[in-house]
Structures are given as structure tokens and as C-alpha cells.
Amino acid sequence: EGGTLNKQADSFLIYSGAATQIITGLTHLEAEEVVVWADGVDLGTYTVAFGSVTLDRTVTEAVVGLGYSATFKSTKLAYASYLHGSALTQKKRIDHIGVILRNTHYQGLQYGDSFDTLDDLPLVDAGQITPADTVWGSYDYDSVEFNGTYDADTRLCLKANAPRPCTILAAIISMNTNEKL
């Protein structure tokens, strides 16, 4: 859930000690691409060589392990159409999304109508640029535009990537239907 030691990685190793750029003891992850959460921030990915990784900066606490993704894909969306009732077979698109989040990295969630076209959470919130590596204890702001496309099989796709924490409490969408006359 964020913090100094965020243990959101598989097969991870925890380092806690003197300031260092080299994390050793990773022979079980040899030649693997790993994610690093250190001193409360996501440091990105590194490749393990000779059982270690050399970080871009010195750290005193780190979690190093395999990254993973958490994905969600809704069922086919069928919201009521103004003129013709159920829109299950009508072309429609999601035009806005609102999310209620807890303990979530400011770039911890992506959204879209397919996993091939995902957008990140907005970097500007309430007119302010979100500071890098912010982890919101709670997030409940106005909905944002959703770059959906018109399709009879409209779906909501959400994706979170370790080590960035993300807890989704709710996702609220608004849709626009293509009314048939």
C-alpha cells in the first residue's frame, strides 16, 4: 500500500541497511527484469546480472522482485438507451470515468476500452500538478474524459502494475449511445 517498503512484487527480496546502489542476493532472479520500490518510490525496472542490480541512486530500504499486472475487463456493457431501452446491441461508448481509490500511486491505474488503448490517471488534479510518486490515501475526484470508441461490445478495462499500489473501491462510467431512429 505504498510506504517505505511496498511489498508488491513476486519472489521479492527486502533490503534494509546502509545506503547503497547495489542490491545483492538476487540469484533466484538471474537474468530476470525486476521492479524496485525503494525509500517510498517506484524506481522502475532493472535486469538482474550476477545476482544483483545496480540502482540509479543510493537507497536504504528496498523491495526488489518480479513485476506483475492486475487486470479487470467488464462484461459487455448494456445501459438503458433514451429511445429504445436496453443498449446491449446498440453502438455506444464510454465517455467519462470516475474512480474512488484507496492507497493508490498517482500512476497506479490505467483505464481504457481495451488493454491495447489504456490511459494513465491524470497528472493534473484540481488544477495542481500531482507531485511525483504521490500515493493517495484516498482519491475521489471529478470524472475525467474517457477516449472510448463506439462499439456494440463496449467494455471497461482497468490495469494496475506492481510495484505501484492500487486499491479500486469503485469505478463509475458514463456512456453515450448512438440512438437509432
pLDDT category at 82 given cuts 50, 70, 90 is low
| Buried b / exposed e along 106-127 (16+ C-beta atoms within 10 A) | bbbbbbbbeeeeeeebeeebee
**Tell me: the pLDDT tens digits for 8-47?**
999 999 999 999 999 999 999 999 999 999 999 999 999 9
Residue 10: half-sphere exposure toward Cβ, Cα within 13 Å: 9
pLDDT category at 152 given cuts 50, 70, 90 is confident
**Tell me: the pLDDT tens digits for 69-81?**
999 999 988 765 5
